[in-house]
Each structure stands twice: as C-alpha cells, then as structure tokens.
Copies of this chain bind each other. A is one copy, B any other.
C-alpha cells in the first residue's frame, strides 16, 4: 500500500447550494397582490422540490448580509441539478433576487479505515493495485459498501431548524501538507476527528460533500441542529484536533433557519419564518 494512497470514497447525489439577496427596494415597489403572486409561484415550485423522492431541495433564511436565502438542491445527476437551477431561475421572483454565491459538490462518504482494510486484505491475497484482478475485487467490495450505505448517499435533508454551511480544504503548505502525509497517518487523524463528531452525533446531523474538480474548495460541510450554539461548540472543539488544527482550512460560514416552502411568503414580507421541524 503506497503512502500516497488516496482514500476510497462513496459518491452519491450532486448538490448545489444557491445563495440570493432580496432586492428589497424593487420588491417593495410591487403591489402587494403581485408580490403575493410571485411568492406563491416560488413557494409552489419549492414545495414540489421539497417532496421529490429522489433528491430533494430545502430552503434556509440566512443571518446577516451575506445572503437572505439559501437553497440546497440534492439531485442524482448534474443534468438534474442544472435543471433545478434553471427552474428556480425561471421564476419571476428571480428578478427580485440577486445571486450571492453558490457551491457545487457531491455527497461523499470518506472511507479511510475501510481503505486500509480493503487494501490490506487484497494485498494479503497477493493482488497488486492497478491490476485487473485487484480492480475487480475492489469494485466488488465498493459495490457492497455502496449498498450498505446507500441511505446516506442521497442526502436526505435532516428535519432540524438550524443550518450551518461552510467549505473547507486540507492544507498543502510548505511544511504541513495533508496530501504528503502517509495514508495510515491520515487515517489515524480522521479517526480522532470522527470521535469528536460522534460525541455530537445526537445533537448535529452532518452532510459532507466533495467538491474537488467541481468548485473552489475541496469539501462542503452542512450541519443541521436543534440548537445553533452546538455549531460553535462542535466546530470549536474540532479545531483543536490534529486534522483541523494543522490541516483544516475553512471558507466563509453561513448560518440560518431552515423553513418550509409555505413560509417563503412570510420571509419575503419581512417576517422570520416559522422554524422547520
């Protein structure tokens, strides 16, 4: 097993995070009836997207000026994801929203420990990586893993009211370089990292997505909780573990309130939407 071995991953549904700011001045100029009509049309589309059985969407009201609204779309293919983006862009409401950022990624289950186990087993049987026999055995094992974890690959949206989203990288510095660490060392650090995560397991649901090759950071992290202070506690505590203290690089953080499509009108009319539960 090479030191530079990349971990195996299971990749599931594609994700698009879309952020928007409301053009309040323009919106306010519309007659109330017109506003209601545009909001209802948007809520109707969003309600359909919420209920999709295979890859749904959800809406989040964002705190602060970075965005007013964030949509997270999960879809089985990039074409479906593009069509979701097009459908929302096709709403008349969109003339009153301005783009405030987006993120393209794919649900990713990292299998560090499994990688070591599978490679050890296959190499124990005398198979060499990048040979047809090895690749076939590996593909069979990955198919088993995919079947076992399929429930976590489609990004079912956790029904919790608070949402935190941020992208991250593993550092490639001139001294500290995640990608130059050996696969066993990386696996140990990820295990330690996972221990903290599991301690918060009941309080936070997380969806990790990979974006290497798709967007500007390497991963996206979505956290869902019933109490927002848990976001701070979890991320702060993790910052002291080795995988994060030396190797974690964190992008902009967004925090907000998940709400259901039927609350979109209230948000646009200046109310805080009822929390999703």
Q: Report which A residues bind B (CB closer than 8 A).
A: 4-6, 9, 11, 14, 16, 18-19, 21, 24-25, 28, 61, 63-66, 78-79, 81-83, 85-87, 89-90, 92, 94-95, 99-104, 106, 130, 162, 164, 171-177, 179-180, 199, 210-216, 223, 228-229, 231-232, 234-237, 239-242, 244-246, 248, 252-253, 255-257, 270-272, 275
Contact A214 B199 (CB under 8 A): no
Contact B63 A81 (CB under 8 A): yes
Residues of B within 8 A of A245 (CB): 4, 172, 177, 179-180
Number of copies: 5
Contact A173 B174 (CB under 8 A): yes
What separation, in Å, do the CA atoms of A19 and B65 have in the docked complex? Answer: 9
Residues of B within 8 A of A92 (CB): 28
Contact B240 A213 (CB under 8 A): no
What separation, in Å, do the CA atoms of A159 and B92 have in the docked complex? Answer: 35
Q: List 25 A-B contacts (CB under 8 A).
A: A4-B240, A5-B240, A6-B237, A14-B228, A16-B63, A18-B65, A24-B94, A25-B95, A63-B104, A65-B99, A83-B271, A83-B272, A86-B271, A89-B270, A106-B229, A164-B213, A172-B246, A174-B175, A174-B176, A179-B240, A179-B245, A180-B242, A212-B239, A213-B255, A214-B231
Contact B64 A103 (CB under 8 A): yes
Contact B179 A239 (CB under 8 A): yes
Contact A130 B78 (CB under 8 A): no
Most buried by B among A5, A61, A213, A239: A213
8 cross-chain pairs, A with B, having the tightest CB-CB distances, nearest first: A213-B231, A179-B245, A64-B102, A65-B102, A90-B270, A174-B175, A213-B235, A65-B99
Other-chain residue from B66, B86, B228 in contact with A270 (beta carbon distance below 8 A)? B86
Contact A214 B246 (CB under 8 A): no
Most buried by B among A16, A79, A83, A174: A79
Contact B199 A213 (CB under 8 A): no
Contact A246 B64 (CB under 8 A): no
Residues of B within 8 A of A242 (CB): 4, 180
Residues of B within 8 A of A9 (CB): 236
Residue of B nearest to A267 (CB): B86
Residues of B within 8 A of A90 (CB): 270
A119 → chain B closest CB, angstroms: 14
Contact A101 B180 (CB under 8 A): no
Other-chain residue from B83, B94, B104, B177 in contact with A255 (beta carbon distance below 8 A)? B104
Contact A95 B24 (CB under 8 A): yes
A175 → chain B closest CB, angstroms: 4
Other-chain residue from B6, B66, B214 in contact with A102 (beta carbon distance below 8 A)? B66
